[in-house]
Chain A
Amino acid sequence: MSSRRSRQSSATVSRISDDQIIELVSKLRQLLPEIRNRRSDKVSASKVLQETCNYIRSLHREVDDLSERLSQLLATIDADSAEAAIIRSLIM
């Protein structure tokens, strides 16, 4: 029924745009820090996906740590002057 139709249409879509998928996966590889350093061309798709998931999780963790650090730093100094100084030092 509808499931068969959806499976057929998804199959034809992936068959038509295989090149698109390859191009996207290669772009993803360029973003990942570890795989970029390795000179092999034959990185499998599952490896790319695994590295992507690990990278996203590490970025999430880093955002968490940074917000914790910032919450401690900005608690001890006056918020208004801090914001002004930060904005001035960053947007030069």
Chain B
Amino acid sequence: MCPHSSLKQEFLKKWIMGLQRCSFSKKNMSILERKKTIKLSADIAMASARNGTTRWSRALISNASKDGSDNRLVQQILGPESNTPVAAITNKARTRRALVCKKIVKRSRRQIRRRRRKCVAAAPVKAVTSSIAKHLVRKRTQVLKTLIPGGEFMDEICLIEETLDYITSLRVQVDVMRSVASASVRASEP
């Protein structure tokens, strides 16, 4: 995958650097802790390889920084060249405002739906199927919003763009981790 090779190298470099910064070579880590460190540093490396150009990467880093127990680890991995505090603060302020706005919109939508239900007669079949399709799309979009980091605050177009980028980055992450695993299996053979 030619266009992905630079992304792969960038991800690998940041991931290895992150692991080294967590003093990964210390032998006194449990298996679970090691796995968490590997996964966290891989996710952070994948997000920081985007350099804050995409919303999901910023949301991923700020979500990881919000969690108290992981925050120290995240700061260690990102190192001195990070600018995370600013991103975390703006996301938090936006979160609170967005949640309040969403509640208001949800409440008014519920009232309007109740009023509309009272005066709707039997709808024609075509309208019913298209409304079922719309309902399915809306439901699945909601599920997608929970899967993409920071997806709850995006509109549809933005969500699809972020999904495209997120899937590409996830594939790169999986490819690199798989080749590292096979390389370490080969390295462990005598």
Which residues on A are within 8 Å of B, measured CB to CB?
1-3, 6, 10, 13-14, 17, 20-21, 24-25, 27-28, 31, 44-46, 49-50, 52-53, 55-57, 59-60, 62-64, 66-83, 85-87, 89-91
B168 proximal to A (CB < 8 A): yes
A interface SS class:
helix
**Are A2 and B104 in contact, CB atoms less than 8 angstroms apart?**
yes
B interface SS class:
helix
Residues of A within 8 A of B164 (CB): 24, 27-28, 31
How many chain-B residues does the 8 Å CB contact rule pick out? 56
**Are A56 and B157 in contact, CB atoms less than 8 angstroms apart?**
no
Q: What's the minimum C-beta distance from B91 to chain A, rounded to whole angstroms?
A: 21
CB interface residues, B 17-63, toward A, < 8 Å: 19-20, 24-25, 29, 31-32, 34-35, 38-39, 42-43
C-alpha spacing A50/B179, complex, angstroms:
29
C-alpha spacing A79/B148, complex, angstroms:
33
- By Cβ-Cβ distance, the 8 closest A-B pairs, closest first, are A49-B140, A79-B25, A71-B35, A71-B34, A46-B136, A67-B39, A66-B177, A24-B160
